[in-house]
Amino acid sequence: MDELSKELTESIKSLCSEGYDLYDQKQWERALRVFYRAWNKLPKPQTNYRESGWVLTALGDTYFKAGRFRPAKEALNSALHCPGINYNPFVLLRLGQALLEQGDADKAHQTLAFAYKKGGRQLFESEAPKYLLAALQPPANKD
């Protein structure tokens, strides 16, 4: 894992905080723009940095909340390759949700079941019940 300067890390944290303020107000597009400003501050290759996981998780979460499931899936998949994410239960939850919303029930089940194993039932408490059901119950065979 590469290290960023303290100043750059603080700048990225500040932008993420600003982005999450907009996220909390359900201003998804504005939040995405701020999170991308944070992303653009990261030196290449971005996924070498711990901070990348924060930003990609924020992007994926925001895309998910905005109903844009394909870019959510892409950002969250990328986040899993960043230092410090280590199969974070929240990242797995959002990734599984995006997969389910895109119609990939098998992968969604696998991902949500892993999120459940890592984060427990409480991870799903504020989510729609269909996601817990998808975690606990494999999809019906289509044969």
* Nearest by Cα to 63 from 50, 74, 52: 74
Q: What is the pLDDT of residues 103-128, one digit of tens each?
A: 999 999 999 999 999 999 999 999 99
Cβ-based neighbour number of residue 18 at 10 Å: 16
State the pLDDT at residue 143. Answer: 53
When divided into structural domains, the chain yields a total of: 2
Residues 54 and 111 in one domain: no
Residues 56 and 113 in one domain: no
State the pLDDT at residue 2. Answer: 79
Q: Cα(106)–Cα(42) distance, rounded to whole angstroms?
A: 34
Query: Which residue would you say has higher pLDDT here, 106 or 139?
Result: 106
Residues 75 and 103 in one domain: no
Q: What is the pLDDT of residues 19-31, one digit of tens each?
A: 999 999 999 999 9
Residues 54 and 122 in one domain: no
* pLDDT > 90: percent of the chain: 92
State the pLDDT at residue 142. Answer: 61
* Nearest by Cα to 69 from 104, 43, 20, 111: 104
* pLDDT > 70: percent of the chain: 98
Domain of residue 79, residue span: 1-86
* Nearest by Cα to 64 from 116, 118, 111: 111
